[in-house]
Structure 1
Amino acid sequence: MLLQFLICLSWLTSASAALEAKPGCQPTCGNVKIPYPFGVGSKCSIHPSYSIDCNKSYNPHRPFLSTKNLQVVSISQTEVRISNQAAVSCHDDLTKINYTQTNLSGTPYTFSDRKNEFYGVGCNTVALIGGLVGNRSYVGGCISYCETKDSVKADMNCSGIGCCQTPIPEGLQLFETYVGSIEENITNITSFGNCTYGFMAEQTKYQFSVSDLQYDRFINKIKDVPVVLDWAIGENLTCEKALQDPETFACKYKNATCYNASNTYGYRCNCPSGYEGNPYLIDGCQDVNECEDHNDNPCASICTNNLGKYTCSCPKGEHGDGMKNGTGCTRNDKKFPMIIVTLGVSLGLLCLLLCISWLYFSLKKRKLVKLREKFFRQNGGLLLKRKISSSHESGVESAKLFTSNELKLATNNYDESRILGKGGFGTVYKGILPDKRIVAIKKSKLVDKSQTEQFINEVEILIQVNHRNVVKLLGCCLENEVPLLVYEYISNGNLYEHIHNISRMSSISWEDRLRIAAETAGALAYLHSAASIPVIHRDVKSANILLEGNYTAKVADFGASRLVPLDQTQITTLVQGTLGYLDPEDETPEFERSEEERYLATYFIVSLKENRLFQLLEPRIIEEGKSKQIIAYSELAKRCLNLKGEKRPTMKEVAMELEGLRRFEMHPGALGRNDDSTSLQSESNDICYVELSSYKDDASGQYSMEEMPAKVPPR
């Protein structure tokens, strides 16, 4: 404990010594120390970005960052704290500024995502923050609401009642704050909360209290709550790159070391252990003489100081490590061989420990093997083995049974960095098999033990599904409590990401979109009609259509699928899948949807009837597609949205019509059939209905507007 205290004291002394100004320069401004590489005036700083203006019109004087005119509260070896400013909106005072902006672009400073939070305070508050993280835009915010003053309690912290908070992203250099009201009628709260506030602050310095709802008290309080900036030397330079130019390298002086900043752009200098001082100055890192104070040095007897370190030793006739917090120094006793006895006891205990450890791990391994055998039998492993054997004999492609260890090794023990996606049915991991094949491994959340035989039958059928536009099921692992499925790996994400991600919105051309639609319809038609046992997917949506590098479509995720015997005409199983993508004829009363959830489909159909189709489309579609061709596809989509199953075309008909529209030039009268012209004499269960569901966000009081899809405007 004493050594730890001395090391801590040495570090504090080093940190204090490091706060040194450049020789001949002003060391402080008012009550704030100005250590190099910062300095009062450009000649006293390492770069103009670190220059400080000392404003002497205040008493005491106040320092400001020269390039951005931001008031500095304190400077440390890694951080700068600046004064705060809040966006304020009061219902009875239009002079309050409900918008603020702080811009650090072009400087070595970033807002600390580890120590800052964004806050909204008030009983009728929407607080928004937006800015730039590198070249990416960022928008976030939170909502605070309260009906009465009694509902606001300080011990609630910022949970959304009177105060809300949200984290900020790493690397933020520019942010704008806007604060507004949720509703206009606030007569019940004006007596105690007439204003709303939005601001960034150091989270350990701001503690919400009920008095913050009053304007005067809040403004006085926020003056003492700073914002933390991370700083580093050499914008976007690592230590390795900076060292290539010795003249400008900041850590070039003797004993100084360089390390890359982890939470901002650039690098920093440091004095290594055993040295103290300012590493940015010549001879700034000086050796610490740990032996200088005899009473406080870490040695029990003899202390020898060396550059950057020290050694402890014992005088002649004594033994030990010589340290106060160690064995110290003990006189040698020739009468009793203490060392031999101690060594013997230690070796005996070590052997005993090794034997116990070997026995423990052997029993644990045996128990694990038995548990895996239990899960294998429980999950239908014996049944699947018999089916695999019969498949081999008949020459039919069969499933591969993977072991638990194989999939653990392939996913690096299911490391989070290997996660490809998460959903209602489970998590999908990226795996690399020993033969270097890349696969997708689906780890489900739930298992129904009563459906084991049906699960095995479905695996056997899906293994035999062989279509270029259907994700191939390679095999499974039954040695876990929940079976794992192994699929081929598709590299280019899913269609949902390409449609809804702004950075990818224009990456898919009109021609590629038509091909993706035709390939998807062809795959579904194959599953419905050409497979040995028809497979009804029941969860067709853009997130379950994967794309290869050349945008080839692959239908995936058969978690909600059902196998239908050839002589069965109706699907009688329970409704599964994503609620917004279900056939309306499958909907049971507990899944009945509101008009809002049908809004996009209704809006699309109404727009067709009112000749407003082209107002819904992206500019690229209008530019690349032919008008008649677009209308023909829209009419086909309209027929697929018919609420009555017998009025909708089969998937085979949809696939044929899409392929025909895509491959041939449009002729007069060839496109735009009405509903009555569709042949519906077979495959009544092959529904093509895909409903456009509306977006619903959660009510947690905290959200990121980057994740909010745009809603269709009302007619």
Structure 2
Amino acid sequence: MEGIFFQSLHGMPIMRLISLLIIVLELVLVLPISTSSTTAAAHDHQALLPQALLGCSDRCGNLTIPYPFGMAPGCYRGPEFFINCTTTHEDENPVPYLTKISGSPYDLIQLRVTNISLEEGDMHVLQPVTRSCGEDQNDTDGVLLLPPPFTFSEDKNYLFAVGCGIVAVFQGSRPGQGLDGNTTLPHINRYCVTYCDDNSDGNNTDPVINDDSCSGFACSLAQLPGGVQNLTVMFTPVSNISRARHRKWYTKYPCRYAFLVEQSKFTFSPGTSFEQLNNTSHLPVVVNWEIGGHGTCDAARKSKKDFACKGNSKCVDWPSDNIHGSTGYICKCKKGYQGNPYHPDGCQDIDECKSNPCPVGKCINTPGSHSCLCPNGTKERSCKEKSKTLLMVMGISLILVLLVGSSSYICWGMKQRKYIRLKEKYFRENGGLLLQQQLAHHGGEATRIFTAVELEKATNNYHDSRVLGRGAYGVVYKGILPDNRTVAIKKSKVAAPTQSEQFANELTVLSQINHKNVVRLLGCCLEAEVPLLVYEFITNDTLFEHLHGKQKKGSSFVWELRLKIAAETAGALAYLHSSTFMQIIHRDVKAMNILLDDNYTAKVSDFGASVLIPLDQTQIKTLVQGTFGYLDPEYLHSNQLTEKSDVYSFGVVLAELLTRKVAFSYDRPEAERSLARLFVCAMEEERLDHILDGDIVTEGNIETVRNVAHLAKKCLMLKGEERPTMKEVAIELEGIMRTMANHHPQGNNVQLRPEDQTSNFLGSP
């Protein structure tokens, strides 16, 4: 296949491919050309559409005057839209002015109009520049007046002050209802302040302006708020002291300027702006206009009185940039239409077919759009003829797709095979074959060997939302098996290499543990670098959370219930110390590893974990830190954990149940940080009452509490040989529970059932 593909790149197929590329380029270029042709045709057609009312002129000199504006009675919508087209000299073209007409209440200075935009709803006019020159000349004020519905544009103009030591005040007003009841809101003030420095060039010659940012040095700017109609420009007087101090400046730049100007029509330049302003009397300003009198679009439509928007047009609330809300509206042609939306004839459909957008097929114009009717054997839209070259290219493309797809599939297959081989390698190294034989020999039917895929599906690819807890060994996830059973899956961190035979033996032993107070191992997964262990899921959190958690889950943790949990935990540990499980002595006995189900039945967890998964030095250090407060003091000398190490750790748990204090805390004084030391000292000094949890001590159970405290003290002896065995501890706790039940048969909240006797605490599988 590859040979056929490369052969097609020689000789004639290459020429056909080049021809195809030319066709594709034509297709790419046709649409932009057609689009530009359509736009150009639209503009040409727009120029031919009527802009003024029938019998009215729409030209004043070089400027088009569209309705609603007009230059003669009956040619404009209202007196506010009157344009005075006048000639000042016989040899000049007529000039349009926005001015008042007879009967208008506005004292308006005539404003020369340079452009009127129906689409933008604005008008460009020329406004005078306010200036003050020379030491002996008085400062002058400038006044800019606009009649309704005209306002200075907020986003297209800037206020400027140019010169030395200027404080220019721009005071405006806009229509509205003020606090005093007037129809205007006065005192809309903006200030532009400038400063100057005769020695700005570093010597005592002429002053130099080296800052063109217009941020205060010789130039300052500000923005006018929306809706302003009348604007007064004023200078504050310059003192003689200031003129004397900056005499060099005033000698070179004698004038000061303040003005409103269209943003794009003035940019401050230190080298030329003063000369330009000295020779300029007027600058362009953008003003907004609107159709007023009836409010916004909704109000105007409801009134149905003289609605300005005609056929094929839409109404837009205006001005859109006024933060005080729209006061009127303007009209715009809909898409696919052009013309004057205010004209009685309305907007006219654009005939897109005049620009020939369909090179081969027949163009059919539709209202606001068009369509191409293509002949048979041609493509849609552009009606470009199909060819054998196109078919060839499609075939080559298909071959390329097949090649890429085949390569991707081969790569994916190779990765899958590599992944499968890696899982098989881990399975062998982790003792999977030996474990299968031992489980079959010992009858461990309830213990399963899970596949990696099964556990990935059960944990939703080990998603963070499934995390139950994190520790020194790794992370525990909540998993849901296909039979809807909920399990806990321990995914350990990468540790020291496992000994496959030892691991298989330990796991076989653990699979035989069957005790109601021990978390049951349901299975494992050996297809990972570090084996994953699957346990039964315990629903009611840990003993640590109930005693010390933030939510104080143990607030109703009565003494009888605590004693029951202690007895069940002791029975489970004694069971694990039996001869069958003597090799499992590396446990982590602490409140966080005692789980509770919905019936508050204790479940011992994390037994044998360090044997199953060997730890490196870092993890051993983390483990010791995590068990600080529970660790057998003899371990610090012998570096070995024994059965009596479990007894010591259980004694700390008993102390927690009695005092509700954590095993180790830096928040306590240094001598009291270890709960074991604090508890033993309190017992020896007969201060037990000072450290007991007040929630559990009553007049009826104080003797039972003291008996358990004495047992805890024996468990916490420094020498392991002086401590009782876990079996002796379990028997003594059982006896204490029986005594409490006999003395308080009615008040005991946690009754011992016959099956809760020592035989079950110490029972075998």
Q: Determine which structure has the larger helix proportion and give its number.
A: 2
What TM-score do you get using the length of structure 2 for normalisation?
0.42
TM-score (structure 1 length as normaliser): 0.44
Rg (Cα) greater in structure: 2
